[in-house]
C-alpha cells in the first residue's frame, strides 16, 4: 500500500467529471426530459410542464396511453417522443446527445410488484441501473438538475407520524415494505446521494402516495373502478378492503410539486413526500364520496381487509408536506379528497365521451 493511499484513507477523492458549470436557463428556454412521460403521471406532468413554457421531450418504452393523450391535449402530436428503455445506456446517451435537455424528471420505472419479484435482475437493471444511466448521461452532457420519482413503498413500517424525509427506510429487522419495488427505489435514492455527495450532482426525490386521477393504475386500490364504473353507469362491488387507509394524492398536485422541485433553491431538502397532507382516507370513505358525486352510482365495498392488504397497511401513515410548503412554497390544490374525486369524475366523463364521438 502506497503512502499516498494510506494517508487518503476513506476521504472523498477529487474526481474530474467535467465542467459542471452549466446554469439553469430561464423556465421558458428550458427543455425538460421526462422519462416515463407517456403514462399516467407522465401525461399530466407533461401538460403541466408545457403550461410553464418549457419544451418537453418524452422518453418511454411505449407511446402515449389514451388518457395521457387526452390530458396533454392538442400539443401531444407535436411532442418529440424517444422510444427507449432507461436500462439501455447507449440509447439514453443518444437521447441526451440529440435533445440536450436542461433538466430531467425521472418517472420511468417498472412498478408491477409481481413482475419484479419474478424478474429480479430486470428489476435491478431498470429501477436502479436506469437511474445510473440517466445520471451518467447528465454528467456527460452537463445537465444541472434531476427530479427522481421514488415511492412511499421505501418505508418499512410507520415509526412516527407525520412521516417526513428523516423517517428511516431501513430498520434492524425490516427493509422497504414493498419488497423488490421499494428496495430498488431505495437503492436508487441511495445512489443519488452518492453522486451528490461525491460529485455534486443536484437532485431531488419525490415519494408520491396513492396517486389518483385520469389514467391511474390499479395499484392504488378500487378508487379507479369506483369512479370510472360510476361514470359509465356500471356497478363496482368489492367484498374486501373498505378499511384500508391511504394518503391519496391527486395527480395534478404531484405535477405541481415536481415543477416546484425543479425550481428549488440549492439549499432545499432532497426528499419531498407527494401527498395532500392531513388524515388518511379509507376506501369506504372514497365509496361514499363517489356515491355522493355521481347520483345513482352502484358502489359497494366490505370493511374487512384482504390478506394481501394487511401487511401493506403497516406502511400507511400521515405524511408531512411541511418542507414542500416552507421551502418550495407549494400547496396541494386538491387537499380535499372530495374536490379531487370531483375533478377525476369530471375529467373521466369528458374522456369517456370523447371516445364515442
- What domains appear along the chain, each with residue ranges and CATH number? 18-209+249-277+317-336 (3.40.50.720)
Give the whole-angstrom CA distance, residue 328 versus residue 32.
19
What pLDDT does 10 receive? Answer: 64
DSSP state string for 69-87: HHHH-GGGGGS-EEE--TT
Displacement of CA 309 from its chain's centroid (Å): 21
Please report, rounded to a whole number, the percentage of residues in the chain having pLDDT higher than 70: 95
Whether the Cβ atoms of residue 145 and residue 24 lie closer than 8 Å to each other: yes
Give the whole-angstrom CA distance, residue 26 versus residue 152.
32
Give the whole-angstrom CA distance, residue 85 versus residue 61.
6
- Tell me the per-residue pLDDT of 299-334, one tens digit each, with 9 for 90 and over: 999 999 999 899 889 889 999 999 999 999 999 999
DSSP state string for 239-270: SS-TT-EE--EEHHHHHHHHHHHHT--TTS-S
Which is it for the CA torsion 280, 282, 288, 294, positive or negative? Answer: positive
State yes or no: pLDDT of 221 exceeds 70. yes
Cell of 227: 369512479
- This prediction's pTM: 0.95
Q: What is the mean pLDDT of residues 68-80?
A: 97
> 484513507: which residue's cell?
9
Sort 26 into a burial class: Cβ within 10 Å, 0-12 / 13-18 / 19+. exposed
> 423517517: which residue's cell?
167
State yes or no: pLDDT of 11 exceeds 90. no
Give the whole-angstrom CA distance, residue 262 versus residue 258.
6
What pLDDT does 324 receive? Answer: 98
- Tell me the per-residue pLDDT of 155-168, one tens digit each, with 9 for 90 and over: 999 999 999 999 99
Helices (H) and strands (E) counted in the chain, each on its own, are: 14, 13
Provide the β-strand partners of residue 203.
Answer: 146
Amino acid at each position: 500500500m502506497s503512502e499516498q493511499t494510506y494517508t487518503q484513507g476513506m476521504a472523498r477523492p477529487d474526481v474530474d467529471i467535467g465542467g459542471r458549470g452549466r446554469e439553469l436557463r430561464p423556465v421558458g428556454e428550458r427543455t425538460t426530459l421526462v422519462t416515463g412521460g407517456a403514462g399516467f403521471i407522465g401525461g399530466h406532468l407533461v401538460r403541466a410542464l408545457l403550461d410553464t413554457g418549457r419544451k418537453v421531450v418524452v422518453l418511454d418504452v411505449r407511446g402515449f396511453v389514451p388518457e395521457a393523450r387526452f390530458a396533454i391535449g392538442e400539443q401531444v402530436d407535436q411532442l418529440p417522443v424517444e422510444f427507449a428503455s432507461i436500462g439501455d445506456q447507449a440509447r439514453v446517451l443518444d437521447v441526451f446527445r440529440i435533445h440536450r435537455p436542461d433538466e430531467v424528471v425521472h418517472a420511468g420505472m417498472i412498478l408491477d410488484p409481481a413482475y419484479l419479484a419474478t424478474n429480479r435482475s430486470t428489476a435491478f437493471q431498470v429501477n436502479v441501473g436506469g437511474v445510473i444511466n440517466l445520471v451518467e448521461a447528465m454528467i456527460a452532457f452537463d445537465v444541472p438538475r434531476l427530479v427522481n420519482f421514488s415511492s412511499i413503498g421505501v418505508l418499512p413500517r410507520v415509526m412516527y407520524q407525520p412521516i417526513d424525509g428523516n423517517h428511516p427506510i431501513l430498520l434492524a429487522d425490516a427493509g422497504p415494505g414493498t419488497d423488490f419495488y421499494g428496495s430498488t427505489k431505495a437503492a436508487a435514492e441511495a445512489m443519488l446521494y452518492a453522486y451528490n455527495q461525491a460529485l455534486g450532482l443536484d437532485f431531488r426525490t419525490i415519494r408520491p402516495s396513492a396517486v389518483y386521477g385520469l389514467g391511474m393504475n390499479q395499484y392504488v386500490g378500487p378508487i379507479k373502478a369506483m369512479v370510472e364504473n360510476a361514470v359509465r353507469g356500471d356497478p363496482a362491488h368489492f367484498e374486501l378492503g373498505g378499511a384500508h387507509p391511504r394518503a391519496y394524492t391527486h395527480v395534478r398536485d404531484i405535477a405541481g410539486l415536481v415543477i416546484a422541485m425543479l425550481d428549488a433553491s440549492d439549499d432545499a431538502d432532497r426528499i419531498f413526500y407527494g401527498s395532500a397532507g392531513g388524515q388518511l382516507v379509507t376506501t369506504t370513505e372514497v365509496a361514499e364520496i363517489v356515491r355522493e358525486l355521481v347520483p345513482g352510482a352502484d358502489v359497494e365495498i366490505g370493511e374487512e381487509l384482504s390478506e394481501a392488504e394487511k401487511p401493506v397497511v403497516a406502511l400507511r401513515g400521515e405524511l408531512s408536506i411541511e418542507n414542500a410548503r416552507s421551502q418550495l412554497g407549494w400547496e396541494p390544490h386538491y387537499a380535499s379528497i372530495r374536490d379531487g374525486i370531483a375533478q377525476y369524475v369530471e375529467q373521466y366523463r369528458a374522456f369517456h365521451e370523447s371516445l364515442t364521438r
